[in-house]
Chains A and B, each alone.
Chain A
């Protein structure tokens, strides 16, 4: 079973983060939310592995409101 990578996997984390924020430059909040959603869908498709995606979703949901999201593993 594949495991979600939680150790740093970016060759240069600061370069990545700067590019991520720059991607949103000049956008409204709604536009940013749309761009983020598209980005997640693109990356999820690239990853493909349902096990990894489920682990990522659980980690992302962790600590945000007490109740578990419906369907979370």
Chain B
């Protein structure tokens, strides 16, 4: 490849080869996007974590390239969002073509006032490299390259993992094992666990090319284009003038022959023209499937990302959902490790993320069925929807080139406190219990976006002077602390008796001790109040993963404490 050289990370002889090690709290198998995200989150919380990976480098090939807004917001909390955004290519607009003609365009983020775009395209190797660098900077994270898991033995109170290295094998004991080792998960296979789903009878060629071009930074999808008749094609821009092109090949294509440059070049020439100046960076032919394990928790083993569930790539729901798995899992695991929640809290990881996986599988299966119709009548309906799409807006909603990744709304989670106040907005985009917190521009002491002030620990968003000083102190001093974020109106009038800064006696017990117990931010454009359907006095309780778990029109200390008890599996 011209634009990237895979780093080779150092292998180090493990101390356990010479003497048995102490029991570890957490071992993660797999240093891909999901394992690294989990490791960074644990490391930020001060939980010692060992990550083992059989390779000594990042992804070979660009693989997962589309990182969605929610994944970027999670990365912001993990301290690597900005690097990914700076290096990557942000985009919001997609275009759909049928037989060479533009039939419609869509904008995935039509409103202003969000820190992150709908998507950033970045090659997976860059993405992983940034996460490796972030993880390596955390003293609690022990990355072990060239270390392959060859045996997994569950115990009553943990797991023993046998790791093979160039210097021989050793055993690592841990309380919790996170299997983030991808779709061919060794942990899943070593434990003899199954997953179920369907494989699709189609093949796709991915070609990454290096090309200087002034194509717009948009997602372009072609059904039956003149340059690739009867099949589909997809174009994405990545960092460093690398472009991703997907060609649908059909089930009968020969995967080995199609990978050869002499087969790829004519396809690219037909698409880009004879004058285009490009070089092939990387190419791969793949098939895909939608599958998931029935459960993501098996005793002390927790499956996350592709090891637990896989989807077809249309919609970018693979890596993005895996990062949400890690986001959902780690705060729960932290509470269980501290003895502040029963281990049954981890069953809610299974509950919430198996439902999210079902949603992702449903969307990606539908997209695949639209792109690769299974029957003549299905193909006829597809072409009819495409033919109507230019003039009839309803038909655009039927065309499915991929329903692009949106965060799961954990609406039926047992951790939510159902709305008691009936006048809250519901419906699409509403901040119902289970929804991930919406961002908004704000002014405040440590960042100009609302999401800068929540996450990591429980947070209470209070609109316009809802909470008095003594209650802020009480929440900060609880065993599972909750910080208060006061969202003021744009004019920032604070009634007498309410605070303007954190009281000195509010000292949270959390490892996020640097986080103040109280922060006041201004809703500079009024968008926070609008997005949260807030009135003066409205309060929202957000989980450490920034999902709403309760909301009220009026603050009440006992209700907030009860909601935290519920959201931590302690009720």
Residues of A within 8 A of B (CB): 5-10, 13-14, 16-18, 20-21, 24, 27, 29, 32-33, 36, 59, 62-64
- The reply to whether B400 and A14 form a contact with Cβ atoms under 8 Å apart is yes
**8 A-B pairs, CB-CB below 8 angstroms?**
A6-B391, A6-B394, A13-B398, A14-B363, A16-B398, A20-B381, A27-B375, A29-B376
- 1/0 per residue, CB under 8 A from A, across B385-408: the answer is 101100111101110100100000
Q: Is B439 an interface residue (CB 8 A)?
A: no
Q: Is B369 an interface residue (CB 8 A)?
A: yes
CB distance from B396 to the nearest CB of A (A): 8
- The reply to whether B392 and A63 form a contact with Cβ atoms under 8 Å apart is no
CB distance from A54 to the nearest CB of B (A): 16
CB distance from A20 to the nearest CB of B (A): 7
- The reply to whether A6 and B393 form a contact with Cβ atoms under 8 Å apart is yes
- The reply to whether A14 and B375 form a contact with Cβ atoms under 8 Å apart is no
Q: Which of B350-401 contact A (CB under 8 A)?
A: 363, 366, 369-370, 375-378, 381, 385, 387-388, 391-394, 396-398, 400
Q: Known contacts A17-B366, A59-B388: does B394 contact A9 (CB below 8 Å)? A: yes
Bound together, the chains give a CA A24 to CA B397 distance in angstroms of 21
Q: Known contacts A18-B366, A29-B376: does B397 contact A10 (CB below 8 Å)? A: yes
Residues of chain B within 8 A (CB-CB) of A13 are: 394, 397-398
Contact of B375 among A24, A36, A62, A63 (CB under 8 A): A24
Closest to A32 in B: B377
Q: Known contacts A14-B366, A32-B376, A63-B387: does B381 contact A21 (CB below 8 Å)? A: yes
Closest to B390 in A: A63
- The reply to whether B398 and A17 form a contact with Cβ atoms under 8 Å apart is yes
Residues of chain B within 8 A (CB-CB) of A6 are: 391-394
Bound together, the chains give a CA A56 to CA B392 distance in angstroms of 11
Bound together, the chains give a CA A9 to CA B369 distance in angstroms of 22
Residues of chain B within 8 A (CB-CB) of A17 are: 366, 370, 381, 385, 398, 400
Closest to B384 in A: A60
Q: Which of B369, B376, B377, B397 has the most CB of A within 10 A?
A: B377
- The reply to whether A8 and B376 form a contact with Cβ atoms under 8 Å apart is no
Q: Known contacts A20-B381, A32-B377: does B391 contact A59 (CB below 8 Å)? A: yes
Bound together, the chains give a CA A64 to CA B388 distance in angstroms of 11
User: A20-B381, A24-B377, A59-B388 given. 19 additional CB < 8 A pairs?
Assistant: A7-B393, A8-B393, A8-B396, A10-B397, A13-B397, A13-B398, A16-B398, A17-B381, A17-B385, A17-B400, A18-B366, A21-B369, A27-B375, A32-B376, A32-B377, A36-B377, A59-B392, A62-B391, A64-B387
